[in-house]
Amino acid sequence: MSIVQDKNGVRYRAKSVKNLAYEGASRGKRTKVLHAPRTGPNRAQVPETGTLRDRMLAGHRNLPMIYAGIERNVVNEVGSGVTIRAKTDDESFNQTATGLWQAQIACTDPANVLNWHGQLVQAVRARRTQGEVFLLRQNRRRDSNLPVPVQFQVLESCYCPVDFREDLKNGRRIREGIEFDQQGRRLAYYFYREHPHDGETDYRLGDYLRVKAEDVIHHYCPTRPGQRRGAPDGTAGLIKAMTFNAYDDAELIRKEKRAPFTGFMKRAAPMYDEVAGLPREPLTGNTVDEEPIHIQSGMLLHGEPGDELTLFDADDNGRGYYDFMKWQCLSLAQSFGMPYEILTGDWKDVNDRLVRVIMQQYYRQISMVQDHVLVFQIARRCWRWFIESAVYSGRLTALNYAHDLQGYLKADMRPQKWPYINPTQDIQAKKDAAEADLSSIDHEVSESGGDPDKFVRENMARIKRKSEIAKEIGLTDEALKQVAKIQLLQSNDYDISHSTQEE
């Protein structure tokens, strides 16, 4: 019902339209189960950020399915890290910058606990469990004994207070701990100096540290336009995961309590202690008001003549248990955006062709996150901080750097390659694509996270060493060709004889 007003100014209640084009917009008993408040991207998410973050962290610590969903997505998104190589028009600059970056990877953590790739894993895990994470640029002194005087500090979501809102001068405003200008551009972030939930320091609103936005990476995935803070992964299945774990645990306890009991003895006549006037235990002879006995697995009570023994059947209360649990796991896997097989490790119902289809879909989804979030937000910004620090500190020489900034920031960034599902077929397919000009060797190597030029140099160096060693032991080029032919014939003879023996 809705309030409307006619042409005479009379207000009345109008009946709702029943013939809706979308059944999902209907109002009735079936639709009451879905709570659907009309809220914007920040009003819907910000008030519940702390609760979602705490529950997901608790689930990651204590619930196996939550832990598996988070960790396996982290492993597939980051793997061993992201390879970065400079790709400017200056080849000398590329080699120097790439070499400096390789040395810098081991020195990016201010605590000296992880390398840069380890920080990526830490950041992605924090984004998936807490919805977001922050990386701060820490400039160091030129004499700090670092390849390039810059480091990156990883901060959890709670360092930036989501409830900090304030209106400033000149039209600026602070929302969820982030300062915006009149055009909505991010100017700065506000952070606690220490972790607010470690209980080491008491904080007031005036204790925030303001950090310019150019020195902060806000790593999160905004699912709605205008969303300022992030939400954890798997929130759609969080309640189901908690209920699922409670049910599975209750079933386990039920079976544990049920297992020791083998049968029940129905007495023809109770035994009495004539002195105490109390019935006795048929197994131990103790009176029933004494301390109860502990039942052990396989224990059977002994009776008197005329007693009736009833043996318990096998516990068949778990019929359909596997199918039920599989369906629940399927639902949980969907909440994490991953296949059921990866979440549970249960591959018994799929063949190699289905595995290829399943993994291709999963790889496409993970690749989207890698490109849009991991590489664009973290790798690209960290590379820019590194190049800026290297140029300004004199580690790199870049002519006209201020006028060609984007040119000097060009780089190839590749996450770890996906493992081959069928190595022989997959590699042959890449070779065929390159020979048919549908791809190139350089492209295929780069897609796998490798450096084509590096591989060519290594292969050429190996050929050169092979030739030098041959000359040292007196082998000529013609002799090497003959050895190669003999090896080929021997391998063919072996294959023929081997196949003949099998036949």
pLDDT per residue as tens digits for the range 346-362: 888 888 888 888 888 89
At 48 the pLDDT is 80
Distance of alpha carbon 428 from alpha carbon 457, whole angstroms: 23
Task: Give the number of other Cβ atoms within 10 Å of residue 280's Cβ.
Answer: 16
At 199 the pLDDT is 66
Distance of alpha carbon 111 from alpha carbon 107, whole angstroms: 9
- The helix (H) or strand (E) run that includes residue 95 is helix 91-104
Distance of alpha carbon 236 from alpha carbon 258, whole angstroms: 35
Q: Which residue has the higher pLDDT, 483 or 498?
A: 483
Distance of alpha carbon 229 from alpha carbon 219, whole angstroms: 10
At 502 the pLDDT is 38
DSSP state of 107: G
Structural tokens at position 153: 């500090």
Task: Give the range among 265-279, 450-464, 470-484 with minimum mean pLDDT.
Answer: 265-279
User: Is pLDDT of 457 > 90?
Assistant: no
Report for 97-111, 273-287, 289-303: range of highest mean pLDDT: 97-111
- Mean pLDDT, the chain, rounded, equals 81
At 351 the pLDDT is 86
Over residues 461-484, the mean pLDDT reads: 76
Identify which of 230, 238, 231, 237 has the alpha carbon closest to the alpha carbon of residue 55.
238
At 157 the pLDDT is 92
The dihedral through the CA atoms of 122, 128, 129, 132 has a sign that is positive
Binned at pLDDT 50, 70 and 90, residue 499 comes out as very low
Distance of alpha carbon 163 from alpha carbon 108, whole angstroms: 31
Q: Which residue has the higher pLDDT, 110 or 483?
A: 110
At 175 the pLDDT is 92
User: Is pLDDT of 103 > 90?
Assistant: yes
- The helix (H) or strand (E) run that includes residue 158 is none
Over residues 106-124, the mean pLDDT reads: 95
At 42 the pLDDT is 84
User: Is pLDDT of 22 > 70?
Assistant: yes
Q: Which residues, including other chains, have CB under 8 Å from residue 266's CB and lie 6 or more apart?
A: 307, 308, 309, 310
Binned at pLDDT 50, 70 and 90, residue 496 comes out as very low
Over residues 184-197, the mean pLDDT reads: 89
At 44 the pLDDT is 79
Over residues 401-419, the mean pLDDT reads: 89
At 268 the pLDDT is 61
Structural tokens at position 450: 């490798």
Percentage of residues in the chain having pLDDT higher than 70: 77
At 194 the pLDDT is 84
Binned at pLDDT 50, 70 and 90, residue 367 comes out as very high
The alpha carbons of the chain give a radius of gyration, in whole angstroms, of 34
Task: Give the range among 59-73, 198-212, 363-377, 390-404 with minimum mean pLDDT.
Answer: 198-212
At 497 the pLDDT is 39
Identify which of 43, 40, 48 has the alpha carbon closest to the alpha carbon of residue 231.
48
